[in-house]
Amino acid sequence: MIRTGRVRLPLQVGTSALMLLAKALAMLVPSFVLVMLAPILALAIVGTRNVGLAQVFQYAFWIGGSVAIGRALRLLGAAYRRRPSDVLLDGESVRFDGGRHHGFELGWRDVQPATWSLAEVKGVHVLATGSGSETDLVLAETHAATERRSLGDLLTSIRAIARAKVGDEPAPPPPPPGVLLCARCGAPLAPEDGAAVACVYCHFATAVPDVLRARIRTGREEAARRTASAEAVTRLLDQRSAPSAARLLVSASVVMLGSWLVSFGAVFVNLWNGDLDVERSVVLLAFPLAVVLALFCAIRALLANRSALSLVAFHLGAGATARGTPACRRCAGPLGAPSGASPVVGCVYCGTENVLGLEIVRGRSVEEEHLTIEAALARRRADRAGAWALAGAAAVLGAVAAILLAGGA
């Protein structure tokens, strides 16, 4: 089951849209300039003595540039379709925020699990709902491996929630061995560091064994040493929404496009003044390419948070008992209260860390049982560090190119 509050999860992370956007803007303006300057370039290559060969080059530039423009426009269209989007899950419905179906909402009674599918179509993974016809509602599409895994986890979760709503939910696993049970009604209890704990169902006080109290104290000491991890998880849960990420992509695309316009504006000025040579041409080309690469890597680093949220939500989130209270994602034992405002709580029975606030029904996996919060955060740090390093290198290259342009102006 899931909590009454609404849980936000990534649908389209945005990595696929970012990649398509960078490719499109890397070829759109150069292709347009190639078409516009085809006669001048052809004469510059062949000269005026062989007009026939110059026309051949001119037509080749026109055809090649036009094909590239068409390709860039198709990439922009695909990037727009794959822009970041989220799903908002609660006990009543699934709602889409951002993306192609912004504002669309489905009640769980209207979700037919058998009609939801994730299939590969011409190298693109498509999440859709329908009967398998051309009229299916396409919810998301991607060619990025990280988004593919996220869509698969989301599909599993939505199917499980929908089945639970119509009573087709598998029986909850039995309490793990050694779990504290209510002495009156037999319900599993989340132990506390006290002499006794009251049952949340019948309110009967059951004594807490000393061994469990010792585990609780040990768990709190370990949690105090992992405050950085808990704070990182908190930031992941409170990160920017899909519409905000989409606006970030739009802003980056404007800057990318502007860098090309500045570069080719400088080309025209140098052509007019007769100052264009091979070295200056290389610098003029390096500047916008460096800007595109730097922004691509910087945005990729920011989107790593959305990828990490999918990993945390679907593989580290706490499960739920039959009555909806938080349960360990591994052994299904009831979970106690976290230390302070931390969203992370350890299971006193098996020691597994769980992230609270994401108690959604989902399929289990071997990876999920062995994955730790530290490992998930380490993946995020590695993704961000690599992307920021490339962004910094590209930014330095762009800065050098800009200095050379300004010095030769």
Going from N- to C-terminal start, the domains of the chain cover: 7-170+230-316+371-408
Residue 25's pLDDT is what? 87
Residue 264's pLDDT is what? 79
Residue 266's pLDDT is what? 78
The pTM (predicted TM-score) of the whole model is 0.78
Residue 315's pLDDT is what? 80
Name residues whose C-beta falls within 8 Å of residue 215's C-beta, 6 or more positions apart in sequence: 348
Residue 366's pLDDT is what? 44
Residue matched to tokens 């389209």: 12
**Other beta carbons within 10 Å of 330:** 19
The greatest distance separating any two alpha carbons of the chain, rounded to the nearest whole angstrom, comes to: 103
Rounded Cα–Cα distance for residues 252 and 306 (Å): 18
Residue 6's pLDDT is what? 74
Q: Are strands 137-142 and 124-129 parallel, antiparallel or unpaired?
A: antiparallel
Tens digit of pLDDT for each residue in 198-251?
888 888 998 988 888 888 888 777 776 667 777 778 777 777 788 888 999 999
Tens-binned pLDDT, residue by residue, of the chain (409 aa): 334 457 888 889 888 999 999 889 888 888 888 888 788 777 777 776 777 888 888 888 888 889 999 999 999 999 999 999 999 888 788 899 998 889 998 888 888 888 888 888 888 888 888 754 555 788 889 888 878 888 888 888 888 888 877 666 666 666 677 788 888 888 888 888 888 888 888 889 989 888 888 888 887 777 766 677 777 787 777 777 888 889 999 998 999 888 888 887 777 777 777 666 666 667 777 888 888 888 888 888 888 888 888 888 888 888 777 666 788 888 888 887 776 677 888 888 888 888 887 766 555 554 555 677 777 777 787 888 888 888 888 788 777 777 766 655 5
Residue 218's pLDDT is what? 81
